[in-house]
Amino acid sequence: MHRAVSEAVRLLTAGDIVALPTETVYGLAADALNADAVAKVFEAKERPSFDPLIVHVPSKQALHDVAEVPESIKKPVIQLIERFWPGPLTIVLPKKPCVPDIVTSGMPTVAVRMSSHPIFKRISQSLGRPIAAPSANRFGSISPTSASAVKAELDGRIPLIIDGGACLHGLESTIIKIEPAEPKPLIIILRPGPIVPDDLKQYGRIQRTDKRIIDQPAEAPGQIASHYAPRTPLRLLQSPRDFIPEHGKRYALLSYRGEPRDGYVDLHDWEQVMVLSPGNGKLPEAAVRFFYVLRELDKLGVDEIIAEPLHEHGMGIAMMDRLRRAAARTTFSR
């Protein structure tokens, strides 16, 4: 692994791009302060320029190299990074002039986090510069949680993929912004993820935006409506009564627990049923398997993937957000 880390640092220093493991999903990394290098990320991913990137810093102190921390929210920002960094929490703050506009899609803010993955940390600290690293897949498709998934998406487009095994969380980081308010600051969840509202509520009043799926330029990464989607059309049901099959169409089911008593497994003669958390249903287990299961369903060649709803608390909030965006891709493409 030492050779792989050294090669990644060499490529990043030379202005190239590499795929790296993080604790959330695999990222496509570039020197965040090198606009030409970041442009290669957009090109490899076929990512639109209006979708900003997350900047990963090598240390907590390095936050101040890329972002301003306004005095009005300094206390909660410090509290949050002390509690959740390194880890899957991204904070949107006013950017410093050194951050190229291509990273932030021309916006005055930058999304910043510090990864806890040991390989990413070693590379980031050895490079000594912030790293821009969106998910290592083509834009709009399913985020990769393994090196093989990165290879399937970007083989031949990038010079190096470092295999760090399966990702710990399996869902992208939680993204927040903070606004001053009394008696407690307002923490706005721009994208739900592994850090859930219950984790954040002691630091401020929580506001969620994940149900507002609209097709317009994003305020933060991962907010565009048609995102995280398989190529196969996906439909998210609210209840079993919502499913009326069309004659001649082939359907597969994305099930939470795979339990007939939930009302979905025996609803139809499915081409295949794939289960996120067999039996009792555990949201953390479901989150780890989430993108893998979506990829496997996408390979079947069915006409439509039907998804059961998940319990919308804890990690279920983030998974329902991804399912709504995957379903929205079908809606907006009609």
Tell me, what CATH number does 255's domain have?
3.40.50.11030
Provide the domain limits for residue 257: 234-333
Q: Are 168 and 315 in contact (CB under 8 A)?
A: no
100 and 200 part of one domain: yes
Does residue 95 lie within any of the structural domains? yes
| Cα-based distances in Å from 245 to 30, 154, 304 | 45, 35, 10
Backbone phi and psi for residue 329, each to the nearest 5 degrees, phi listed first:
-60, -40
pTM reported for the whole predicted model: 0.92
304 and 189 part of one domain: no
Distance (Å, whole) CA 165 – CA 1 = 12
**Which pLDDT does position 1 carry in this prediction?**
78
Does residue 84 lie within any of the structural domains? yes
Distance (Å, whole) CA 94 – CA 90 = 13
137 and 63 part of one domain: yes
275 and 311 part of one domain: yes
Q: H/E element holding 253?
A: strand 251-255
Block mean pLDDT (10 aa), the chain, length 334:
93 98 98 97 91 96 98 98 98 98 96 98 97 94 95 95 95 97 95 96 90 57 69 96 96 96 96 93 93 96 97 94 86 42
**Which pLDDT does position 223 carry in this prediction?**
62
